[in-house]
């Protein structure tokens, strides 16, 4: 039977959740990952590990100045070194500015940032390539560069022409603030952040005639296919990308890095496969980062704590000509009430590597500061932080004036407070002690806008009654293999050992990819829609309607008849496509995931060291597909939020434009000893406006409120408010009370 595309555009609420018809009982349970055995035994290969015969090894050559031009390159000594196959520094398709995109002629390239890719050296072994790379001599013509936001604040672009989120205005903020009984006005700063995935950014390129097969660690394959094809000046039909397993991405692998394009160029030049891995120290400059921010938050309210006006105005940095502007205030848009509202983003252009989306773009840094400000204002008003937030819970989106699809934030507050023991909190800072440690509690709200991106999947029911799911969706460690197997198994009535999931291949139907917390909803919906089409065909074979058909354990039952699927299919396969698209619901309703997060910390009264003792979060994320992978996402996000609050800070040498914290010895991330016991709970209820499964994003939601909860707990512990993140001990010491 021919393949049919079951397409759904989300223009209306879903009357019946697609998963409700299933009887297999696998959705929602905390099942182990189906790819877990492959990963723990080393059989799940990452891009650099793919076995390829006759492969050569490439090293990316990078610039050692922050701005200027290349006057000349002497590569002859390197070319003569043992094992060297080629040194490519003048190929016309080399990326002109260190990033992939449309290829440009390149003879004396402009150096736009420190660590920019300027070529590739290829050798027989990795060791030979590393050694010879040091022999390439580059003569530069340095020029003055812009490397510091505050040094160039007078060059501020107040309304960048292209932004992920435009500025938002409602009412007269200044007038409303002037009329407010209480006005809060403070400025917070956050530093540069790096997405330091455990698996390196790597690629292998293999040419067969005019076609290239690329194994690379990429989150969004559809967009990557377009970027790589353009960079290599190829028809997309001649490019195949494979990325079945990814060892973490965090946004850093949403774009195509220079290693991928360079591997393809080198492989074609030398006539054999080439593999390239970006070193940890190169990652800081060859992979995009989250920019630094300067955020002014103003909130005006009545004497009893009703918000009248809220402004969240941010300054961020970005490379020239790049369109991504960190949407710092996006989480603030609809979180709290207030008729007068202003949310703006301004940019200072710097000669640094490009900034782009790192896990929870906008909310990760915007919620960190907004929720700290809300705690400060609650303190000023003499209100409990939860009570202050409840008083300002809006009935509808206060900026757009549209209803919420679902919003259970108050339930998150109440359930979190009950589980955490919030009633035991001493509201007076510095009064709870444990020896030389000052102990405090804090909380914060969390929000993450819910997105639905077009996605497609193919489901094939084999004559033996097994299901094969194919989509170029990726799994970056979030559990995509598992939840898609659960969805297909639930709908088709199959045990998970009879469901095979195939991901990460651009020969498969194009999916949304992994990013923006939209992966599970988009790819899961497309799989479910394909299964729905197959269910309809199976029902017809049973002379029944889909509503009369029950599928369980590989048996079809309808109208008092039972048949194994293999018998019902009678030697024929059945195949269908499923496609999900956003429709009118995206504008007609305000869609988001919500949460409340709680922290208990201890601050050493002598050293200023902070230790997080407890973290707890309660989240409203729609339907939970797998309790175990959902909790894993929440815990991982909360660990990262802790890391942002206390550790992570990428430091730029403002003389050279180089990140000096470019390895894990200097760029500190939360380690095992920093992380306490973490509790994560979910209010499991569907959102019928979001998608046919009723699910919403989890992964990025749980980052946002954690850092602010920790910052607020630090204040409750010791009475110190630091508005410059991360909250390292040097920023707390001077304000600590005597022990």
**Tokens representing 376?**
């400060």
In angstroms, the CA 65 to CA 111 distance is: 8
Give me 338's structure tokens. Answer: 């207030």
Which pLDDT score, from 0 to 100, does residue 104 have? 31
Which one of 213, 436, 700, 724 is the catalytic residue?
A: 700
- Rounded to the nearest angstrom, the gap between the alpha carbon of residue 455 and the centroid of all alpha carbons in its chain is 18
Q: Please state the separation of Cα 491 from the chain's center in Å.
A: 29
Element (H, E) at 485: helix 480-492
Evaluate whether the domain defined by 4-31+452-587 bears CATH number 3.30.365.10: yes
Residues in the chain: 739
Question: What gap in Å lies between CA 349 and CA 46, rounded to an integer?
Answer: 36
**Which of 620, 686, 557, 491 lies closest to 27 in space, CA to CA?**
491
Write out the DSSP string of 81-123: STTEEEEES--TTS-SSSS-SS----SS-EE-STT-EEEEEEE
- pLDDT value for 95: 66
Under-50 pLDDT residues of the chain? 1, 98-107
Tell me the fold of 47-65+67-144+195-286. Aldehyde Oxidoreductase; domain 4 (3.30.365)
Whether 685 contacts 622, CB under 8 Å: yes
Nearest residue to 246 (alpha-carbon basis) of 34, 486, 464, 46? 46
Give me 137's structure tokens: 């001599």
Distance CA 281, CA 278 (A): 8
pLDDT at position 626 = 98
HEC secondary structure over 640-652: HHHHHHHCCCECE
- Residue 592 and residue 290: Cα distance in Å, rounded? 22
- The phi, psi pair for 190, rounded to 5°, reads -125, 150
Q: What is the reported pLDDT for 92?
A: 83
Q: Beta partners for 144?
A: none
Q: How far is CA 230 from CA 204, 261, 620, 719, in A?
A: 18, 10, 41, 55
Sign of CA dihedral 727, 730, 732, 738: positive
Residue 10 contacts residue 581 (beta carbons within 8 Å): yes
What lies within 8 Å, CB to CB, of 376 at 6+ separation is 184, 186, 721
> Is there a catalytic annotation at residue 490?
no
CB atoms near residue 76 (< 10 Å): 11
Q: Which architecture does CATH list for 293-450+591-735? A: 2-Layer Sandwich (3.30)
Q: Cα-flanking dihedrals φ and ψ of residue 383, to 5°?
A: -110, 150
Domain boundaries, the chain: 4-31+452-587, 47-65+67-144+195-286, 293-450+591-735
SS (H, E, C) 179-198: HCCEEEEEEEEECEECCCCC
Topology alike, domains 4-31+452-587 and 293-450+591-735: yes
Residue with tokens 């990795």: 126
Give SS3 for 419: helix
What is residue 70's three-state secondary structure? strand
Provide the CA 722 distance to its chain's centre, in angstroms: 27
Nearest to 121 by CA among 88, 83, 144, 154: 88
Beta bridge partners of 58: 122, 276
DSSP annotation of 396 reads S
Which residues are 604's β-sheet partners?
Answer: 437
Identify the residue whose tokens are 């009118």: 584
Q: Using alpha carbons only, give the angle 495, 498, 504 rounded to the nearest 5 degrees.
A: 115
Structure tokens at 607: 């050293």
Angle ∠(100,479,29) on CA atoms, nearest 5: 160
Q: What's the confidence (pLDDT) of residue 97?
A: 53
Angle between helical axes of 258-270 and 221-232 (0-180°, round to 10):
50
Q: Return all residues near 539 (Cβ < 8 A) that are at least 6 apart.
A: 545, 546, 548, 549, 558
**Residue 616 neighbours by CB distance under 10 Å:** 24
Task: Name the DSSP letter for residue 574.
Answer: E
| Residues 533 and 434: beta-carbon distance below 8 Å | no
The set of long-range contacts for 36-40, using a CB threshold of 8 Å and a minimum separation of 24, is: 39/245
| pTM of the predicted model as reported, rounded to 2 decimal places | 0.96
96's CB contacts (< 8 A; 6+ apart) are: 103, 104, 106, 109, 110
């Amino acid at each position: 039977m021919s393949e049919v595309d079951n397409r759904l555009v989300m223009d209306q609420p879903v009357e019946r959740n697609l998963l409700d018809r299933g009887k297999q009982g696998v959705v929602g349970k905390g099942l182990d990952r189906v790819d877990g055995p492959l990963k723990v035994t080393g059989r799940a290969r990452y891009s650099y590990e793919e076995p390829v015969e006759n492969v050569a090894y490439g090293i990316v050559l990078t610039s050692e100045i922050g701005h200027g031009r290349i006057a000349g390159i002497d590569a002859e000594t390197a070319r003569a070194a043992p094992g060297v196959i080629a040194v490519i520094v003048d190929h016309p398709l080399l990326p002109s500015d260190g990033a992939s995109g449309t290829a440009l002629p390149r003879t004396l390239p402009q150096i736009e940032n420190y660590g920019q890719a300027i070529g590739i050296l290829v050798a027989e072994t990795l060791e030979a390539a590393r050694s010879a790379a040091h022999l390439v001599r580059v003569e530069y013509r340095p020029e003055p560069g812009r490397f510091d936001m505050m040094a160039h604040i007078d060059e501020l672009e107040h309304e960048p022409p292209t932004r992920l989120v435009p500025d938002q205005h409602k009412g007269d903020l200044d007038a409303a603030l002037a009329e407010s009984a209480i006005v809060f006005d403070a400025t917070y700063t956050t530093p540069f952040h790096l997405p330091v995935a455990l698996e390196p950014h790597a690629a292998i390129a293999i040419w067969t005639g005019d076609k290239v097969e690329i194994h690379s660690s990429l989150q969004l394959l559809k967009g990557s296919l377009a970027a790589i094809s353009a960079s290599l000046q190829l028809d997309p039909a001649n490019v195949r990308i494979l990325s079945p397993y990814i060892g973490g991405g965090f946004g850093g692998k949403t774009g195509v890095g220079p290693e991928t394009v360079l591997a393809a160029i080198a492989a074609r030049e030398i006539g054999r496969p080439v593999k390239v891995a970006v070193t940890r120290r190169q990652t800081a400059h060859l992979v995009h980062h989250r920019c630094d921010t300067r955020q002014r938050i103003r909130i005006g309210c009545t004497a009893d704590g009703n918000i009248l006006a809220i402004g969240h105005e941010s300054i961020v940095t970005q490379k020239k000509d790049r369109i991504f502007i960190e949407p710092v205030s996006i989480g603030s848009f609809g979180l709290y009430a207030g008729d007068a509202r202003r949310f703006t983003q301004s940019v200072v252009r710097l000669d640094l590597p490009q900034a782009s989306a790192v896990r929870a773009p906008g909310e990760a840094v915007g919620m960190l500061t907004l929720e700290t400000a809300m705690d400060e204002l609650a303190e000023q008003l003499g209100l409990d932080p939860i009570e202050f937030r409840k008083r300002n819970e809006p009935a509808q989106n206060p900026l757009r004036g549209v209803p919420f699809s679902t919003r259970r934030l108050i339930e998150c507050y109440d359930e979190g407070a009950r589980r955490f023991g919030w009633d035991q909190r001493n509201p007076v800072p510095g009064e709870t002690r444990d020896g030389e440690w000052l102990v405090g509690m804090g909380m914060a709200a969390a929000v993450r806008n819910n997105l639905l991106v077009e996605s497609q999947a193919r489901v094939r029911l084999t004559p033996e009654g097994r299901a094969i799911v194919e989509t170029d969706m990726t799994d970056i460690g979030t559990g995509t293999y598992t939840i898609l197997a659960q969805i297909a198994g639930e709908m088709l009535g199959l045990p998970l050992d009879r469901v095979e999931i195939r991901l990460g291949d651009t020969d498969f139907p194009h999916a949304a990819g992994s990013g923006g917390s939209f992966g599970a909803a988009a790819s899961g919906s497309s799989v479910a829609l394909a299964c729905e089409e197959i269910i309809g065909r199976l029902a017809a074979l049973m002379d029944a309607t889909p509503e009369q058909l029950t599928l369980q354990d590989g048996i079809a039952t309808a109208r008092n008849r039972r048949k194994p699927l293999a018998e019902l299919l009678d030697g024929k396969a059945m195949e269908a496509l499923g496609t999900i698209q956003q429709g009118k619901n995206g504008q007609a309703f305000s869609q988001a995931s919500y949460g409340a997060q709680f922290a208990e910390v201890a601050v050493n009264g002598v050293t200023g060291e902070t230790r997080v003792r407890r973290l707890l979060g309660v989240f409203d994320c729609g339907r939970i597909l797998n309790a175990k992978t959902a909790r894993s996402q929440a815990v991982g996000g909360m660990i990262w939020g802790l890391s942002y609050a206390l550790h992570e800070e990428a430091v730029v040498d403002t003389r050279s434009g180089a990140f000096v914290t470019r390895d894990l010895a200097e760029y500190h991330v939360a380690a095992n000893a920093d992380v306490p016991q973490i509790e994560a709970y979910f209010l499991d209820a569907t959102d019928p406006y979001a998608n046919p499964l009723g699910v919403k994003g989890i992964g990025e939601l749980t980052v946002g409120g954690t850092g602010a909860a920790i910052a607020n707990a630090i204040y409750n512990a010791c009475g110190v408010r630091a508005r410059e993140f991360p909250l390292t001990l040097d920023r707390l010491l001077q304000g600590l009370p005597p022990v």
